[in-house]
Structure 1
Amino acid sequence: MTNVKGLWAFIGALVLLLLAVTWAWYQASGKLQPAAIVGDKTISNDEYVTALKQKFGKQVLNDMINREVVFQEAKRSGITVDPKQLEQELSQIRDSYGSRTDSEFEAALIKQAGTTVEALKQEISYQILLQTLATKDMTIKDEEILKVYNSRSDRYTRPMQMRLGQIVVASQKEAEQVLADLKNGADFQTIAKERSIDEDTAVNGGDVGWVSIKDNRLPDEAKPIVEKLEKDKYSEAIKIEDQYVIYKLTERREASQRTFEEVKDELRREIAFAQVESLDVVLERLRKSVGVQISGQMPH
C-alpha cells in the first residue's frame, strides 16, 4: 500500500464498517420513526436492518473480525505501525485531494469516500499490520529491494508543489481593478471572498490548495507564470478561456526524494506480500491463532 491507487483500493472496505455503524444507529434509535414511507407503504427500521443484514451482514462481520484479529495478533507479536509511514501514506491521499486544511481534507473524505481521517488512519494501519504479519517470516535480500527501488525512482520523488490562491473575474476591466486594489494594499483573501466568481475557492479566500506544475487543476496558460512566482507575490491577470485569473503563491515545497533507507522496510514488505499465499489463508491462520467464535458456531 504505497501509492494512491493502492490506497483507493481499500477505502471501499470502509463502506462495510459504515454499514455496521448504520445498523447500530438504527437499533439504538429503536422504533421512534420508520426508515421510509413510500406512498401508503411504511418501511420499518426492523425491515431495513434485516435487509441490510441479509445482503451485507456476513461480509461486514467477517471484515470486523479480520480487523480485530490483525490488531490483536500484531499487539501480541510486538508489531506496531511506524508513525512516519502512517503519515506518509496519509499525505499521499491528502495531496491527491489538493486539501488546503485538515478540516477541508476531512470534509472531502466524508463527501467523496464516506469516511473520516481517523477511520482512514485505522484502515491504513490495518493494511500495514496485515502485510507485516503475513510476511514477517519471509526473507527478501537488500539487493532485490534496491533493484526494485531503482526501477521506481520516480515513484519516490515528490515534485515541487505550490500552494496557490486565486481570484477569478469575468472581464479584463474587473481584473485590472483587482490588480490596482492589490497594489494599493488590499488583502488578497478579502478580495477573493468578495469578488471571485469561482465559488469553490472564493469561500476559502481563494485558496486552491497544493498543486504541482503537472497538476491538471492548473491550466496550461498559468503554469509557466505561477512556476516563477515568489512567495507572497501575485501574478498579472491571466486569460483562461472566457475568464481572467490572478494567482498568488502562498507557500512552496521544493521537490524531494525519499531515500532507499527510508523506504526499504516498506518495499521489503510490499515485495514479500506479493509472494504470500492466498490472503484468505493468511487471515484464517491468524483467526486460529487468536481464536474466533461466531455466535451459534464452534470456535474456528
Structure 2
Amino acid sequence: MGKKQLWMVIGVLILVNCLTIAFSLSKANTAGGTLGNDETVATIGKKSILRQDWLHELESRYGKDVLKEMVDQKVIEEMAAKYHINVSNQDVDREFRMLQSTTNSFTQQNSKDEKGWKEQIRSNLLLEELLTKDVKVPSSELERYYQENKELFDVPPAFHLSHIVLPTQEEADKAVQELNQGSDFSTLAMERSIEEFSANNGGDIGYISEGDERYPGQYIEVAKELKTGSYSMPVKVEEGYAIFKLDGKISGKKYSFADVREQIRRQIALEQMKSPASASTFWDDAKVEWFYGHKEN
C-alpha cells in the first residue's frame, strides 16, 4: 500500500469512527431513559433543537458517505470470497507498523483501536488485490522498482511522545516536582501546557521518527534516552521549556524484496490505472441496490 492509500485508510477511519456513534443514536428509543425523536438535545434561550432535527441534519450531511463506506466494505468481502483472494497477517502488520511510524494519527486516544485500524488496512489490501488480480508485472520490473525505492519499504524507528511545554524553567521545574509526587502527566499537560494543540490531547503528539519536519531533532534525541513510561527533565525548546514522556516506541525494520514483492506489483498496477481505486467498480458484480437509487461512481 502506497502513501496515498495509507492516507485513504486514515480518512476512512476518521469519517466512520466519528459518525458511527452519532448515527447509532437513531436506533435508540424512549425505553430505558434513552432519547426519543421528539426530545430536546439543546436549548438556546427559548428556542430548542429536537433530536429528530439533529439526526436529519447529520444524515443529510454525512449519511450518503457513511452508507457508501458500509456498502463498499460488504462488497469487498463478497468479491474477495468470490475470487478466493486473501491477504496475510504479515502484510497487514507491515502496513500497520508503517502507518504508526509515518503519521501522527496514533495518539493515546485513538491508538487503542488497533483491531479497527487493521481491519481497515486488510480491507484496503483486499480491494487492491481485487483491482489488480489480473495484472502481470515482469519480475525484472518488480526487482528494479525495489532496488530504486528500497527506503519506501523500511519502517523507521518511531517514538510515541507526549510533552508539557511551559514558558519558564521555574514553571517547568515545578511541574517535574509535581510529577515526582504522583501527579498525572496528561492532566498537567491539559492544565498548563502552552502548546494548545497537544494540550487538548493531554500533551500527546503521537509517533515521531527521525527526519520528522514537525518537530526539532532534539525531540528524537530526548526520546532515545527515555524508557517507556518515563519522563525527562525540562528541555529548552523554542516556545520555552518542555518535559517529555515516552508512551511507547516501534523498532525499525527493513523488508526484503520477497517480503514486499506483491505490494510492489499492486502498486505498479494501481499507478497504471486510469480510474481511481474504488470498490464501486464491483457494485454491479455484487448486485448492489441502495437507498440512493443509483450506482455510486
Tell me if TM exceeds 0.5. yes
The number of equivalent residue pairs is 278
Give the equivalent residue in structure 2 for 1:81. Answer: 87
Identity among equivalent pairs (%): 25
- Paired residues of 2:163 and 2:244 also in contact (CA < 8 A): yes
Pick from 45, 52, 57: which aligns with 1:46? 52
Give the equivalent residue in structure 2 for 1:143. Answer: 140
> Does 2:294 correspond to 1:294?
no
Give the equivalent residue in structure 1 for 2:196. Answer: none
- Paired residues of 1:165 and 1:248 also in contact (CA < 8 A): yes
TM-score by length of 1: 0.67
Structure 1 residues 283 and 27, CA gap change in structure 2 (3 angstroms):
same
Pick from 189, 197, 204: which aligns with 1:199? 189
> Does 2:108 correspond to 1:118?
no
CA distance in structure 1 between the partners assigned to 2:212 and 2:231 by the alignment: 19
- Paired residues of 1:166 and 1:192 also in contact (CA < 8 A): no
- Paired residues of 2:162 and 2:204 also in contact (CA < 8 A): yes
User: Which amino acid letter does the alignment assign opposite residue 158 of structure 1?
Assistant: V
Q: How far apart are 1:83 and its partner, in Å?
A: 1.0
CA distance in structure 2 between the partners assigned to 1:197 and 1:118 by the alignment: 27
CA distance in structure 2 between the partners assigned to 1:31 and 1:299 by the alignment: 31
CA distance in structure 2 between the partners assigned to 1:139 and 1:94 by the alignment: 31
Give the equivalent residue in structure 2 for 1:214. Answer: 211
Give the equivalent residue in structure 2 for 1:8. Answer: 7
Q: Please, which moves more after superposition, 130-139 or 79-88?
A: 79-88
Give the equivalent residue in structure 2 for 1:156. Answer: 153
CA distance in structure 1 between the partners assigned to 2:239 and 2:12 by the alignment: 42
> Does 2:267 correspond to 1:270?
yes
Question: 1:66-120 CA deviation, whole Å, 9 max, x = no partner?
Answer: 2111111112322222111212222223223395xxxx54x1459xxxxx43332
- Paired residues of 1:213 and 1:227 also in contact (CA < 8 A): no
Pick from 34, 38, 41: which aligns with 1:35? 41
CA distance in structure 2 between the partners assigned to 1:283 and 1:130 by the alignment: 10
Give the equivalent residue in structure 2 for 1:23. Answer: 23
Structure 1 residues 117 and 207, CA gap change in structure 2 (3 angstroms):
closer
SS in 1 for 2:95: helix
CA distance in structure 2 between the partners assigned to 1:58 and 1:167 by the alignment: 41
- Paired residues of 2:75 and 2:279 also in contact (CA < 8 A): no
- Paired residues of 1:17 and 1:64 also in contact (CA < 8 A): no
Give the equivalent residue in structure 2 for 1:64. Answer: 70
Q: How far apart are 1:26 and its partner, in Å?
A: 2.9
- Paired residues of 1:70 and 1:130 also in contact (CA < 8 A): yes
Q: How far apart are 1:292 and its partner, in Å?
A: 2.0
Give the equivalent residue in structure 1 for 2:104. Answer: 97
Q: How far apart are 1:260 and its partner, in Å?
A: 1.0
SS in 2 for 1:36: strand
Q: How far apart are 1:264 and its partner, in Å?
A: 0.8
Q: How far apart are 1:147 and its partner, in Å?
A: 1.9
Structure 2: runs of 5 or more not aligned: 30-35, 194-198
Question: 1:171-205 CA deviation, whole Å, 9 max, x = no partner?
Answer: 49x97xx9xx9xxxxxxx847858999737x99xx
Q: How far apart are 1:136 and its partner, in Å?
A: 0.4
> Does 2:256 correspond to 1:259?
yes
